[in-house]
Chains A and B, each alone.
Chain A
């Protein structure tokens, strides 16, 4: 069965610095990988996805993610963090149904 792991419960960065939120995956076939963001008291919102093609995927709000097949990773990145990026981030993998990681809380401090 497919699964994703987010090794960090919490990531803290200063505003203007680059950010990385890590995700590794396990799937039997070709992975369909996703990042979602959850703001307080809201449902999850889609950020970006990797299905096939370029390993660097660009998404909403300036976020991008790099697919690395050899390391089975799909890390979320942003060159310059904003305080408004503070939220809960979920990595997900789809192989039939959609399975989510445990989430990483990103805090961007001014």
Chain B
């Protein structure tokens, strides 16, 4: 157990629907990152939050949004889902300083299947 918790583990839904993926970072970590892993595009950086504020944005579609709450958990919202959104979505967290800084700890992922 890495300490980063992602729910749900598996999700099957239909095109056009909306889903929310949830991530609880490792205790004490202030940064949360979201990544999408699909077979043909590897691991794509979506977005990073630090202590509730958006820190960096990557290849995140406009149909996707995220936020980090005061208790530091984060949610990734995916709307108007398309078949191509089927992928593994990973959350990772990192410490703000010390020897663990810069090292990402990943959750087990949420596998989204869009039918």
Contacts and interface: CB of A to CB of B under 8 A. Distances in A.
B4 A97 contact: no
B43 A103 contact: yes
Interface stretch (B13-21, B74-82, B98-106): B98-106
Interface in B1-28: 2, 4
Interface string A38-81: 00011111100101000000000000000000000000000000
A45 B102 contact: no
Contacts of A49: 102-103
Q: For chain A, what secondary structure do more than half of its interface residues adopt (helix, strand, loop), or is it mixed?
A: strand
Q: For chain B, what secondary structure do more than half of its interface residues adopt (helix, strand, loop), or is it mixed?
A: strand
Given A49-B102, A97-B45, A97-B56, A43 B33 contact: no
A43 B106 contact: yes
Contact of B43 (A42, A90, A96): A90
Contacts of A96: 55-56
A103 B41 CA distance: 10
Contact of B106 (A44, A94, A103): A44
B103 A46 contact: yes
B42 interface: yes
B90 A101 contact: no
Interface of B: 2, 4, 33, 35, 42-43, 45, 48, 55-56, 58, 90, 92, 102-109
